[in-house]
Amino acid sequence: MEVVFINNVAKEISATDKTKIKPTYLILGSGSFGFALAKELRELEKDLIIVDKDSQKVETLRDEAYEAIVGDVSDPTLLDRINTKNLAGILILSSDPQANKAALENVRKKVSRDVYCVARAPDVINMQEMETMGADLVIMPPRMVAKSLSRSLERAEAMRRGNKLTQWFEANKGRKLAIVVHDNPDPDAISSALALKTIAASFNVLADIIYQGEIGHQENKAFVNLLDIDLYRAEDVGFTGYENLALVDCSVPGANNSLPLETRVNIIIDHHPIPDAEIDAEFIDIRPNVGASSTIVTKYLQELNVDIDSKLATALLYGIRTDTMDFKRNTDSADLSAASYLYPLSDHDILDQLERPSMSIETLDVLGEAINNRQVTGSYLLSNVGSVRDRDTLPQAADYLLNLEGISTSLVFGVSEDKIFLSGRSNDIRVNLGDVMKRAFGEDAGGGHANAAAAQIELGLFSSAKDRQTLLRLVNEAVVKRFLGAVGVEEADE
């Protein structure tokens, strides 16, 4: 005979008693994990009943005013003692995976599919088996603890970084800040710099965004014009009028940015892989796992409670989308979280306009040259487009060529007056394109992510070529040989 406390009234029931217990949540197994969950549910004022085969443990639970019964979770007759019509959820949480699977099988035979069923598994193999058996959710407690701890550490680290950035701005009120982005900046670099400028303004720090090169890509031009973003060329303003310097979306002075080498930088915020060069600044936040620098600064805006207007939200959301290729490349959960936060704050009419810019004649010409001059070796496609004025046309061509059937990696390159510019794209999980660029063209010349990378090579000895056609031929031979060598392919198909 057992005693069950229902609504604080003790009732004796025998094995043949027709009385049905009516809980909202049924917990099968009251080990440390099951009991911890029961405490949480009771604090939420949920009705529940606990089943455990240990009679002493059941008595202890009853002493603490829990409704509990003695029973084996794998017993096929167990559910006959409970009115399952009122169940919102069944939680199978014993430490015995075989008993849990037997309980799960019993639940799916006797209980409505509308009842949410959670099962505990010790490993991935059992988790997959329980999912196949019909569990709505399968949990592994060690993994849950690890994830929870990881999230807590991330929040603590974010708070520490936010506090450190606050302290830096507090100590530098009244001093002008130059926010330097990489050469020929893209929407991610520009929007990240705009966010840092907004944060600076909240601390009464005057900041300007400075770049070198051209904003050549049609979408980038439309981005700056539609959002009316103020940018200054390095050659026009210089750096002597600024007491502090920040690098955004790049991390090494002089490496694809307008700062002189060895310049002392105060702030560095970037999401690109950490280079081999030594990085030194008062405040450094480099997160290679994140898909966009815009994601990083969005988190700072949230942490520091800085108002985000529609213009800034639109810029940041577009920066995240473009650098992650609409969340299909190098995307982290932080990117999705930031985008979700920015989405309702953004101007979607402007976003629509940004996604449908007109194509320039030069872009069309380069795309045509890239198609006509393609050289294919296996799944690698390389194309020399000849002379280029706008380097932003190269990644557009590389993106387009990657869509061709049988192509997993594309490399498009062209020559300006003094440099060779290369842009690559890959969807081959065996290829880390950033590493390939470094091996092929040097640590200082190339780099990027696993599936999107670029390189710049000084013409050097090539510039002594007798004519332009000879130069382009020599460049083509050298680039193709180095790239294919770096990926382990000897020569291109004829």
**CATH, residue 108:** 3.40.50.720
Cα separation, 14 vs 1, whole angstroms: 5
Residues 9-47: tens digit of each pLDDT:
344 444 444 444 445 899 999 888 889 889 988 888 888
Statement to judge: residues 350 and 366 lie in one domain: no
Of 108, 139, 170, which one is at a domain's C-terminal end?
A: 139
Cα separation, 22 vs 484, whole angstroms: 70
Residues 248-290: tens digit of each pLDDT:
999 999 888 889 988 999 999 999 888 777 888 999 999 998 9
Of 335, 354, 373, which one is at a domain's C-terminal end?
A: 354
Does residue 394 belong to any structural domain of this protein?
A: yes
Of 139, 169, 192, which one is at a domain's C-terminal end?
A: 139
Which positions ≥6 away from 490 have C-beta within 8 Å? 484
Q: Is the pLDDT of residue 427 over 90?
A: no
pLDDT of residue 464: 64
Cα separation, 320 vs 454, whole angstroms: 19
Does residue 380 belong to any structural domain of this protein?
A: yes
Statement to judge: residues 390 and 310 lie in one domain: no
Max mean pLDDT range (84-88, 147-151, 443-447): 84-88
Q: Which of the pair, 425 or 396, is modelled with greater confidence?
A: 425
Does residue 438 belong to any structural domain of this protein?
A: yes
DSSP 476: H
Does residue 408 belong to any structural domain of this protein?
A: yes
Does residue 148 belong to any structural domain of this protein?
A: no
**Domain range holding 96?**
2-139
Statement to judge: residues 328 and 204 lie in one domain: yes
Pairing of strands 244-248, 232-233: unpaired
Statement to judge: residues 332 and 370 lie in one domain: no
- In contact, 90 and 111? CB cutoff 8 Å: yes
pLDDT of residue 491: 60
CA distances to 208, 223, 455, 482 from 439, rounded to whole Å, are 36, 34, 11, 9
Does residue 145 belong to any structural domain of this protein?
A: no
Domain count along the chain:
3
Statement to judge: residues 221 and 299 lie in one domain: yes
Report the share of the chain in percent with pLDDT over 90: 48
Statement to judge: residues 387 and 337 lie in one domain: no
pLDDT of residue 17: 43
Q: Is the pLDDT of residue 6 over 70?
A: no
Q: Is the pLDDT of residue 461 over 70?
A: no
Statement to judge: residues 252 and 340 lie in one domain: yes
Q: Is the pLDDT of residue 466 over 70?
A: no
Cα separation, 312 vs 349, whole angstroms: 14
DSSP 386: E
pLDDT of residue 396: 84
What is this structure's pTM? Answer: 0.61
Q: Is the pLDDT of residue 315 over 50?
A: yes
Stretch 294-311: mean pLDDT: 94
pLDDT of residue 23: 56
Q: Phi and psi (nearest 5°) for 400?
A: -65, -45
Residue type, 215: I
Statement to judge: residues 236 and 372 lie in one domain: no
Statement to judge: residues 158 and 221 lie in one domain: yes
Provide the 3-class DSSP secondary structure of residue 308. Answer: coil
Statement to judge: residues 350 and 247 lie in one domain: yes
Banded model confidence at residue 159, pLDDT cuts 50, 70, 90: confident
Does residue 309 belong to any structural domain of this protein?
A: yes
> Which range among 98-107, 230-239, 461-470 shows the weakest confidence by mean pLDDT?
461-470
Residues 71-87: tens digit of each pLDDT:
999 999 998 888 888 88
Residue carrying the six token digits 């990117």: 335
Residues 96-136: tens digit of each pLDDT:
999 999 999 999 999 888 889 999 999 999 999 999 999 99
Helices (H), 306-432: 310-323, 333-342, 348-354, 361-372, 393-401
Residues 341-373: tens digit of each pLDDT:
999 999 999 988 887 656 677 888 888 999 999
Statement to judge: residues 135 and 162 lie in one domain: no
Q: What is the CATH number of the domain that holds 253?
A: 3.90.1640.10
Closest by CA to 182, choosing from 237, 266, 250, is: 250
Statement to judge: residues 257 and 402 lie in one domain: no
pLDDT of residue 492: 47
Mean pLDDT (the chain) is: 86
pLDDT of residue 424: 92
Cα separation, 371 vs 404, whole angstroms: 10
Q: What is the CATH number of the domain that holds 373?
A: 3.10.310.30
Does residue 385 belong to any structural domain of this protein?
A: yes
Cα separation, 270 vs 288, whole angstroms: 8
